[in-house]
Each structure stands twice: as C-alpha cells, then as structure tokens.
Structure 1
Amino acid sequence: MTTISQTAGRSLRPSSSSGFFATLAGAAYALFDRLQRRTAVKTLNELDDRALRDIGITRSQIEDAVYGQFKAELTRYL
C-alpha cells in the first residue's frame, strides 16, 4: 500500500507574508531600542556632574556609554 505525504505539494521557501512580519517585528524592536536609548541619554543628561562622576563617566561620554562605545574606549587605556 502506498501513502502520499500531505507536504508533497508545499513549497519549502517561506511565504512572503512571514518575511513581511519578520521585517515589521525587526523594525518595531529597533524603534523600541532607539526610544529606550534616547530616554537613557535624557535621564543621564539630567544628572549633575558629581552623580555622573560617581557612575564613572563625564558629561561628554554619556552618548558613548549609552550606545555601547564607551567600553571600547576604556580598553584602549587599560
């Protein structure tokens, strides 16, 4: 007796709608990440210089610290 698979007629490539939703989700995550970083920069800018010094950064290093470029700068000096 022969059986026929139900998946025999289906395409192996993903549908275009799933690609669209994956791209849409990626854009939403990127937007959310951008908004979070902007909020962090705004919050750190509201701190006084002493509080920033306690954290270990100066006012000119706020954006680098938030966007992850500060560590690379520190390792150059160590």
Structure 2
Amino acid sequence: MTTISQTAGRSLRPSSSSGFFRALASATQAMLDRLERRSAVKTLNELDDRALRDIGINRSQIEDAVYGQFKAELSRYL
C-alpha cells in the first residue's frame, strides 16, 4: 500500500517571511494614513473661520473631524 505524505512538497522550516511582509504592509499603510490625516488637518487649519463654518465645523473641532470622532454631527450632512 502506498502512503502519500501531506507534507510532501512543503518546506520543513516554517515560513516567517509572510508574517513579516504582512506586518510591514500594515505598518506602511498606517504610516500613509497618518500622513494623509496630518495633511487634512493642515489644510483645514489654513481655512478661515467662515469656510470652516460653511462645512459645519469650528476650529476647535478640526482634529476630531479628521480623526473620525465628530461623526454624529457631520452625519446629518451626509
């Protein structure tokens, strides 16, 4: 009788490179998200108070709006 091993064709050493690349991709995405949000905060800070009022926020709410903590009041405009 012939037995086929399930490990045939697989390396005996566990592959840690896939976990490394997954972590690297996740860290890269987090960094890009942070840079994008920082850019949004900078752009909104450059607006005058009238323009901010037009979009429904005041200067003290810019970071909350960008980082998603201001959803309740903004949801009525969406």
- Is this a same-fold pair by TM over 0.5? yes
How well do the aligned residues superpose, as a CA RMSD in angstroms? 2.3
Where does residue 8 of structure 1 map in the other structure? 7
Percent identity of equivalent pairs: 79
- AA matched with 2:40: A
What runs of 5+ residues in structure 2 fail to find an aligned partner? none
When the two structures are superposed, what TM-score results if normalisation uses the length of structure 1? 0.78
Where does residue 69 of structure 2 map in the other structure? 69
Q: Which runs of 4+ in 1 moved over 2 A?
A: 1-5, 7-11
- AA matched with 2:52: L
Where does residue 55 of structure 1 map in the other structure? 55
- AA matched with 2:71: K
1:34 aligns with 2:41: no
State how many pairs are aligned. Answer: 71
Give a deviation string over 1:14-65, Cα, whole Å, max 9, x none: 6200000000000000000000000000000000000000000000000000
1:44 aligns with 2:44: yes
- AA matched with 1:54: D
